């Protein structure tokens, strides 16, 4: 934001506040000064900047979560568990994800802190809980970022398998570093269009699968629910009979958690949103429909178009991520229908998925470490930002972990990727546990202090019961996550499946012991600090909110959708 633009905005805001502002808020000049700091960053030029637009937040909220877990991982889930198990599992986990996002939205709209959702844990539970929430999230993105870069190097082998994977790793590393240092404006716009591309490609694959199922391909009859008959709807996994079908369903739940992992990114971007009290609820509401369409309806359609017991799907799953687009059940359906040009387009789309994921993962990792420093749980030097609002010291600490991707040069790179994936899903599940636990503590504090839910800027449906339901379900899934590591017992799989739990326990109780942390009672929780700044921020009329023509409104609607 230039000095001229900033000055014009301050004068505009001052005129508005002079016209009508409550006397108890202080002088208009003070209000504008505080709002100016809130827009640029809480440390002025030295902090992150609130320049992420609502349309970017909305698109990032769902597009950031669409990745290889949905496009590729759904094939493994379908082959092991059957289409009905997959559809039910994706629907249940989708409801949990939406519950976690609603909980996050209620807290983030009231307190749009730059500390991330770990700051909510510190405020509403205790300091140790806030620390371990950030620690889990940081550990997740130390792992997920190199895993996405490995996926990129494996997927690109679809066209050229002779070039060493380390070459592709280096290219993507340089790109991610450059994009993250460009600042939030460039990051937000890049992720907006990447997310738009993801949604476009996924919509095309879902539509093609539906056309195939309904008999829209010349020379082929209607499939309908043919592949759900003869015991294929609920397949047995590891064991025969009812136990095997139950294990198949649990495996589908676990893989669904991996597919949905990352949807909570909106809780990180809130610290750099222009108007979080408008952008966050909008992003969450739109996410509900996108979860229903792209995840639940998508898995339903592909389960109708592809035989879960087919040799083609089994061969695709055996290749894993190294098979590129050919490993996707959506592409399997298209290839079997005789449509030849789609696999190359889908593979190019998968590259966009991994590039976007690697880029946003590093953004999240650096902002998480920045938030820990703001929360007092990491050295203050990690709060240091450049003139673009990039926490460059924090980024210099998180970015070297991307070099783990050079493991791709070894012969067992696919095995390394699978180990990373196993650890990521538990860390993701535990993050949702932390968000929901913080929200439950928040609601208890409001009740104890006599604060009505009607005072919240955003009120989610079915609360507080929705948070309790979501927390119960995700705890069950985390507990059963690594059951196949015992059939037979494999210590490597056991460690990768459950490594997040000892990190949580040791991190939480270790912090409590060394810091002497005392958990506040619900009546002692601070519900006031930080409210004033954002109440005043709402009084400023954003220049972007000027009246639009019908043509401009139509374009704005399409762009924001």
Contacts of 44 (CB under 8 A, 6+ apart): 37
pTM: 0.79
Residue 24 has a CB neighbour count (10 Å cut-off) of 5
Predicted local distance difference test score (pLDDT) of residue 270: 60
pLDDT for 162: 77
Least confident span in 78-87, 366-375, 403-412 = 403-412
* Residue 486 phi, psi (nearest 5): -100, 5
Task: Give yes or no for residue 465 having a pLDDT over 80.
Answer: yes
- Chain centre to alpha carbon of residue 19: 41
Closest residue by Cα to residue 420 from 50, 104, 74, 142: 142
Residue 442, token pair as written in the block:
């928040």
pLDDT of residue 14: 37
| Domains of the chain by start residue, with CATH | 50-529 (1.20.1740.10), 530-560 (no CATH)
CA atoms in the 13 A half-sphere facing the CB of 506: 7
How far apart (Å, rounded) are the C-alpha atoms in residues 176 and 181? 9
Q: Which of these, 348, 497, 343, lies nearest to 425 by C-alpha position?
A: 497
Beta bridge partners of 52: 273
Helix (H, G, I), strand (E, B) or coil at 273: strand
> Among 317, 315, 296, 302, which Cα is nearest to 212's?
302
How confident is the model at residue 379, as a pLDDT?
85
Range in 19-23, 246-250, 367-371, 495-499 with the lowest mean pLDDT: 19-23
> For position 118, what pLDDT does the model report?
78
Contacts of 361 (CB under 8 A, 6+ apart): 141, 144, 145, 148
Asked whether residue 440 carries a pLDDT value surpassing 90, the answer given is: yes
Three-state secondary structure string covering 94-137: HHHHHHHHHHHHHHHHHCCCCCCHHHHHHHHCCHHHHHHHHHHH
pLDDT class of 151 with cuts at 50, 70, 90: confident
* Neighbouring residues of 360: CB distance < 8 A, sequence distance ≥ 6: 60, 64, 191, 262, 265
Q: Choose between 226 and 11: higher pLDDT.
A: 226
Tally the residues of the chain.
561
Residues 6+ apart with CB under 8 A from 535: none
**Which residues fall within 8 angstroms of residue 485, CB to CB, at 6 or more apart?**
493, 494, 497
pLDDT value at position 544? 44
Enumerate long-range contacts of 333-338, CB under 8 Å, 24 or more apart.
Answer: 333/208, 333/209, 333/212, 333/302, 333/305, 333/306, 334/205, 334/208, 334/209, 334/212, 336/306, 336/310, 336/312, 337/208, 337/212, 337/217, 337/220, 338/217
């Amino acid at each position: 934001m230039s000095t001229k633009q900033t000055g014009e905005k301050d004068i505009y805001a001052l005129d508005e506040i002079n016209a009508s502002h409550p006397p108890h808020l202080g002088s208009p000049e003070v209000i504008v000064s505080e709002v100016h700091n809130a827009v640029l960053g809480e440390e002025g030029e030295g902090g992150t900047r609130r320049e992420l637009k609502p349309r970017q937040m909305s698109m990032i909220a769902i597009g950031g979560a669409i990745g290889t877990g949905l496009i590729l991982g759904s094939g493994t889930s379908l082959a092991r568990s059957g289409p009905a198990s997959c559809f039910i599992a994706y629907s249940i986990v989708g409801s949990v994800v939406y519950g976690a996002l609603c909980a996050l939205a209620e807290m983030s709209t009231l307190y749009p802190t730059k500390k991330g959702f770990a700051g909510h844990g510190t405020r509403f539970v205790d300091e140790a809980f806030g620390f371990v929430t950030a620690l889990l999230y940081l550990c997740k993105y130390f792992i997920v970022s190199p895993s996405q870069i490995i996926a990129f190097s494996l997927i690109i082998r679809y066209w050229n398998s002779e070039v060493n994977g380390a070459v592709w790793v280096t290219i993507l590393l340089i790109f991610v570093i450059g994009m993250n240092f460009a600042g939030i404006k460039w990051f937000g716009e890049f992720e907006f269009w990447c997310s738009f591309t993801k949604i476009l490609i996924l919509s095309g694959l879902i539509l093609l699968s539906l056309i195939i199922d309904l008999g829209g391909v010349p020379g082929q009859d209607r499939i309908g629910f043919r592949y759900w008959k003869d015991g294929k709807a609920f397949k047995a996994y590891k064991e025969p009979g009812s136990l095997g079908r139950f294990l198949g369903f649990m495996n589908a739940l676990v893989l669904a958690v991996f597919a949905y992992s990352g949807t909570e990114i909106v809780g990180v971007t809130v610290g750099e949103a222009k108007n979080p009290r408008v952008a966050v609820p909008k992003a969450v509401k739109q996410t509900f429909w996108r979860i229903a369409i792209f995840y639940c309806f998508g898995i339903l359609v592909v389960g109708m178009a592809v035989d879960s017991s087919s040799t083609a799907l089994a061969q695709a799953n055996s290749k894993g991520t190294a098979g590129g687009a050919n490993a996707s059940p959506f592409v399997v359906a298209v290839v079997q229908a005789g449509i030849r040009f789609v696999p190359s387009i889908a593979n190019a789309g998968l590259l966009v998925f991994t590039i976007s994921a690697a880029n946003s993962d590093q953004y999240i990792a650096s902002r998480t470490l920045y938030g820990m420093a703001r929360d007092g749980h990491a050295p203050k030097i990690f709060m240091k930002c450049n003139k673009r609002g990039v926490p460059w010291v924090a980024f210099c600490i998180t970015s070297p972990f991307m070099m783990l991707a050079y493991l791709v040069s070894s012969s067992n790179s696919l095995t390394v990727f699978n180990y990373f994936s196993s650890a990521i899903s538990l860390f993701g599940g535990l993050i949702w546990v932390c968000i929901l636990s913080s929200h439950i503590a928040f609601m208890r504090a409001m009740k104890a202090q006599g604060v009505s839910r009607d005072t919240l800027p955003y009120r989610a449906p079915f609360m507080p019961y929705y948070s309790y339901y979501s927390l119960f379900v995700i705890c069950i899934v985390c507990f059963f996550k690594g059951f196949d590591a015992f059939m037979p017992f494999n210590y490597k799989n056991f460690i990768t499946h459950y490594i997040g739990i000892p990190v949580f326990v040791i991190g939480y109780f270790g912090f409590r012991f060394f810091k002497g942390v005392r958990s506040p009672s619900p009546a002692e929780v601070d519900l006031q600090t930080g409210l004033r700044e954002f109440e005043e921020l709402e009084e400023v009329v954003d220049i972007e909110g000027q009246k639009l023509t019908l043509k401009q409104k139509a374009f704005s609607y399409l762009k924001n959708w």
